[in-house]
């Protein structure tokens, strides 16, 4: 009985993922044209930075599922109502949470993520500094000839 339950569960998971793949295959073409070119530009920008909640690795602009089409419609309507980009984003986040934004917002909860690359770079620079300083001090005392390996630049002069 328990084995059947596991198989069923796996089947459900597999179908869901297969379903997600299925819908991924036919991407969407969105020929929506808003009357004002500036609104159109904002529409394109927004639909490209909002996530499709069903095919979660695609943007609203590219996803072929009906939910994405519905949400694109909502973006269009909100823009025509005169809402700002931030208001559109807030509208989406109020219903679907932060996950709908492709660019994680900089908040105390995501600060570690945005700061990680810079911090890593600084730590790396520090490591380099320490190592190079240490090795530079040893250069004059190091009398060993550089191995004669004819591939890279030779220490042949002097």
Partner 1 sequence: MNRFALPMAVFVALVVVLAIGIEHSPQKGIIASPLIGKPAPPFSLPSLADPVRAVASADLKGRWYLLNVWGTWCFECRAEHQMLLEARDAHALPLIGLDWKDDDAQAREWLTQLGNPYEAVALDHSGSTAVDFGVYGAPETFLINAQGIIVYKYVGPLTRDVWTNEILPRLPPHAAARS
Partner 2 sequence: MLPELGQFALILALLLAGLQAFFGIAGPMLGRDRWLAAVVPAVAGQAVMVATAVGCLIASFVSNDFSVSYVAGNSNSALPLFYRVTALWGAHEGSLLLWILLLAAWTVAVAIGSARLPPRFAARVLGVLGVVSFGFLLFTLATSNPFARLDPPMPDGRDLNPILQDPALAIHPPILYTGYVGFAVAFAFACAAMLEGRLDQTWARWTRPWTTAAWAFLTCGIALGSFWAYYELGWGGFWFWDPVENASFMPWLVGTALVHSLAVTEKRGLFKSWTLLLAILTFSLSMLGTFLVRSGVLVSVHSFAADPARGIFILAFLVVMIGGALSLYAWRAPLLKSSAGFELGARESFLLFNNVLLITAATTVFAGTMAPLISDALKLGTVSVGPPYFNPTFLLSMLPLTALLSVGIHSSWKRGRLRDSQRTLLITLVAAAVIACALVYGIYAHGHVLTPVGALLGVWIILSSLAEPLSRWRRGLRVPRGMLGMTIAHSGLGVLVIALTAVQSFTLEHDVALAPGATTTVGSYAFRFDGVQAIEGPNYDGVGATVTVSRGGAPVAVLKPQKRQYWVQHQATTETAIRMDHGNNILVALGEDLGAGRWSLRVQIRPLVSFIWLAALIMAIGGAVAASDRRYRNSKVAEAAAPGAAEGSAA
18 is a contact residue toward partner 2 (CB under 8 A): yes
Selection from partner 2, partner 1, none that 101 binds (CB < 5 to 8 A by kind) is partner 2
To the nearest 10°, report the CA torsion of 103, 106, 107, 111: 110
* Alpha helices (H) along the chain: 2-25, 37-49, 66-80, 85-96, 111-138
Q: Are the C-beta atoms of 102 and 49 separated by less than 8 Å?
A: yes
Selection from partner 1, partner 2, none that 96 binds (CB < 5 to 8 A by kind) is partner 1
DSSP 8-state code for residue 8:
H
Binding mask 91-130 for partner 2 (x = CB under 8 A): ------xxxxxxxx----xx--xx-xxx-xx--xx-xx--
56 is a contact residue toward partner 1 (CB under 8 A): yes
Residue 108 contacts by C-beta under 8 Å, 6 or more apart in sequence? none
User: Among residues 28, 50, 53, 60, which is the contact residue for partner 1, using CB under 8 A?
Assistant: 53
Q: Which is nearer to partner 2, 87 or 106 (CB)?
A: 106
């Amino acid at each position: 009985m328990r084995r059947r339950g596991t198989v069923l569960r796996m089947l459900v998971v597999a179908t869901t993922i297969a379903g997600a793949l299925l819908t991924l295959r036919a991407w969407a073409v969105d020929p929506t044209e808003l009357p004002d070119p500036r609104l159109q530009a904002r529409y394109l920008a927004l639909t490209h930075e909002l996530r499709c909640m069903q095919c979660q690795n695609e943007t609203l602009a590219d996803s072929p599922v009906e939910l994405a089409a519905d949400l694109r419609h909502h973006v269009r309507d909100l823009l025509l109502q005169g809402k700002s980009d931030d208001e559109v984003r807030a509208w989406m986040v109020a219903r679907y949470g932060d996950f709908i934004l492709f660019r994680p917002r900089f908040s105390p909860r995501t600060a570690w993520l945005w700061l990680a690359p810079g911090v890593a770079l600084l730590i790396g620079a520090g490591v380099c500094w320490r190592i190079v300083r240490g090795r530079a001090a040893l250069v004059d005392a190091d009398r060993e000839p550089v191995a004669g390996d004819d591939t890279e630049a030779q220490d042949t002069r002097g």
